[in-house]
Amino acid sequence: MIRQLDTDLEISSIPLVDLATQSRQIKEDVLRRMSDVIDSARYILGQEVQEFEEQFAAYCGVDHCVGLANGTDALHMALRALDVGEGDEVITAGNSFAATAFAIAYSGAQAVFVDIDPVDFNIDPNRIEAAITPRTKAIIPVHLYGQPAQMAAIREIADRHGLKIIEDAAQAHGAESNGQRCGSFGDIGCFSFYPGKNLGAFGDAGAAVTNDPELAERLRLLRNYGQKVKNRHDCLGYNCRMDTLQACVLLSKMQHIEDWTNSRRQVAAWYGEALAGTDLQLPVERDDARHVYHLYVVRHPQRDAIIESLAAKNIFCGVHYPHPLATAQPFQDAKTFPEGLPVCTSAASAILSLPMYPEMTHQHVSMVAKALVDFGC
């Protein structure tokens, strides 16, 4: 479903993300579902949560989905379910959002940061083995911007060294490698449904998916105070359940996720055509991948000046992310491979997220492209 605007219609501004337009499409369905929850008072782990879990598991091509309060909790609970803790090390990419590293710290383990592939911006499999020590327990590849990490290579390394894999798929709902959905490659896949995600709630929500029934049961215990039966606490659990009202939103959006993904891919194609003659470095979709373009990230040495120039024309961009994780105060003593993360560091000063959302039209893209060309790109 590619939406077009009348070319005579004036566009006053182009946001980085337009949540309001998408929300209006599903408003009535969401309100109907929420009304049912209010009437039944099924506010905690209601049937809508289970219904969403079943639908999302099928969408990811796995057997189990466990709804959680947010994506950070999904990563944290995944680490707990795999018994990662004090004295362990977890390898991850150096350029993710802070939640990836924070979840490792919450578990008591140490984050070890590996540099990225300069083409797809995901963790570089060729750098991983240098970071493995006897303390290494798991690898968390991040499917950044909506492009799958190189999971076949990562899986081979993990299997050879007896390591667990937790996929950070917070930006990769529906992304695929060789026809297989992100979240289904590792022991556990973790998703965020933060409002701005490709599949977003009207507040915080998340999920962990797996093919392992024992891990799924462990995750269900961990999210609900260790309870399988009320007031019987079988393990040290947490309070990180998905809210039933957020499940209503996600159920409504599940009906549109593939149309919205196809629209994102069309917007990316329009950008590729419109910006082909510029000196911007454009994103590259790997041959084996289905990129879902959570973000459309280009590179340019005058990134900050471009942001300022486009903002003056009411076109708003972003930076994801301006600093490698190892520079954050909680992780300044962490190991990095290679030291200093040169590719991450170089990219951080040049990456630029252009406006990207399913409701963008060819006219929107043309306006963004013209503004970039006018700047001198």
What is d(CA 254, CA 30) in angstroms, rounded to the nearest whole number?
Answer: 12
What is d(CA 158, CA 164) in angstroms, rounded to the nearest whole number?
Answer: 7
3-state secondary structure the chain: CCCCCCCCCCCCCECCCCHHHHHHHHHHHHHHHHHHHHHHCCCECCHHHHHHHHHHHHHHCCCEEEEECCHHHHHHHHHHHCCCCCCCEEEEECCCCHHHHHHHHHCCCEEEEECECCCCCCECHHHHHHHCCCCEEEEECECHHHCCCCHHHHHHHHHHHCCEEEEECCCCCCCEECCEECCCCCCEEEEECCCCCCCCCCCCCEEEEECCHHHHHHHHHHHECCEEECCEECCCCCECECEHHHHHHHHHHHCCHHHHHHHHHHHHHHHHHHCCCCCCECCCCCCCEECCCCCEEEECCCHHHHHHHHHCCCECCECCCCCCHHHCHHHCCCEEECCCCHHHHHHHCCEEEECCCCCCCHHHHHHHHHHHHHHCC
What is d(CA 67, CA 191) in angstroms, rounded to the nearest whole number?
Answer: 10
Whether 335 is a known active-site residue: answer no
Catalytic residue (one of 137, 164, 197, 253): 197
What is d(CA 256, CA 136) in angstroms, rounded to the nearest whole number?
Answer: 40
Give the C-alpha distances (Å, rounded to integers) separating 367 from 55, 164, 299, 354: 38, 45, 19, 12
Active site residues: 197
